[in-house]
Amino acid sequence: MKVRKFKESTVDKAPTILVLGYFDGIHRGHQALFEKARDLADTKNATISVLTFPENPSIVFSKFNENLLKHLTSDKKRLQLFEKNGVDFLYLTDFTSHFAKLTSHDFIENYLKKLNIAAVIVGFDYKFGSDNGTVKALSDYDIYQIPQISDSNEKISSTRIRKAVLSGDVELANQLLGYHYELSGLVVHGEARGRTIGYPTANVESKDYQYMPATGVYVVDIEVAGKCYRGMASIGYNDTFGGQTKTLEVNIFEFHDEIYGETATVYFLKLIRGMVKFDGVEALITQMKNDEKIAREFV
């Protein structure tokens, strides 16, 4: 897959199936668009292109808060998912105040007409341009609008997935995404309290702007140094020890190596419990033994 800033000089001139949208998470609803794109690409002997934005367009319209910079995937993971779904050309353009003022006609003239479009694919609720253009504005093209994709009689959407992640319901998030929610980061030194109670942890510090699941203890898989291990992760403030900083710590089962400075990817599988402040270390250890049993038995 080739990733390019959208400029007339950089676009490929081969016939292409153009998929339009923002695609935070590239969840099962988005994947339906790419499934159709792959079918059309085979039929029309065309490539697949995506024209999208690196950041959430809401940044231009809403009062800033840090969540506007957060995503369901890292930039690296997002690219991997585009490629996995068959995208040949990913064109990125910044969503700025100037871009937001473009009408649907302007968007077609300045962007779509620069491409050799064999077909356009959009979602069921797609609108574009400052005039909120609909698919009718795309009538000059072979246009395909994919119906709503639902799960448990409710629309699959990035908003629904974000709510699931932030509430700790990672099982629902995974079901809607079609893959496991993940966070990647460097393994760094922490307080080293875990090893003193028989549960050493890898402290994972993410550099990506992603949503952190709710505080609690989770069943996870963790990939480090090319291998994947089962473990249990704690997201919280180490309340029992009076901690102040929110951390992601993973106790990796059957693992005894030192991995400081390594990049680890944590895949969230299930919430075991919320965070509890224990009366003492013995009560904490008893609970962790129960957490470990649940994590080891989870399939």
**What would the two tokens of residue 259 be?**
């991995």
Considering the domain architecture, whether residues 41 and 153 belong to the same structural domain is answered as yes
Indicate whether 151 and 184 sit together in one domain: no
How do the pLDDT tens digits run along the chain, 299 residues long? 999 999 888 899 999 999 999 999 999 999 999 999 999 999 999 999 999 999 999 999 999 998 899 999 999 999 999 999 999 999 999 999 999 999 999 999 999 999 999 999 999 999 999 999 999 999 999 999 999 999 999 999 999 999 999 999 999 999 999 999 999 999 999 876 666 677 889 999 999 999 999 999 999 999 999 999 999 999 998 654 455 578 999 999 999 899 999 999 999 999 999 988 888 888 899 999 999 999 999 99
Structure confidence at residue 240 (pLDDT): 47
Secondary structure class of 267 (helix, strand, coil): strand
Residue 279 and residue 223 share a domain: yes
pLDDT digits (tens, 9 = 90+) for 10-21: 899 999 999 999
CA distances (Å), origin 116, targets 85, 219, 247: 21, 47, 48
Asked if residue 134 lies in contact with residue 122, where contact means CB atoms within 8 angstroms, the answer is no
The pLDDT assigned to 243 comes to 53
Residues 32 and 95 in one domain: yes
CATH of the domain at 16: 3.40.50.620
Q: What domain range includes position 197? A: 180-297
101, 185: one domain: no
What single-letter amino acid sits at 82?
A: F
Query: Based on the domain organization, do 134 and 200 belong to the same domain?
Result: no
Q: How far apart are CA 227 and CA 31, in angstroms?
A: 28
Q: Are residues 228 and 126 located together in one domain of the fold?
A: no
Same domain (yes/no): 153, 240: no
On whether both 138 and 218 belong to a single domain, the answer is no
Q: In this structure, is residue 43 part of a structural domain? A: yes
Residues 142 and 39 in one domain: yes
Nearest to residue 203, comparing CAs of 274, 136, 142, 251?
A: 251
Please report the pLDDT score of residue 8 as a whole number.
80
Residues 122 and 186 in one domain: no
Residue 173 lies in a domain: no
> Does the residue 166 lie in any domain?
no
Report the predicted TM-score, pTM, of the whole model to 2 decimal places: 0.93
Residue 5: the pLDDT is 94
The 8-class DSSP code of residue 282 comes to: H
Does 229 share its domain with 280? Answer: yes
Domain count across the chain:
2
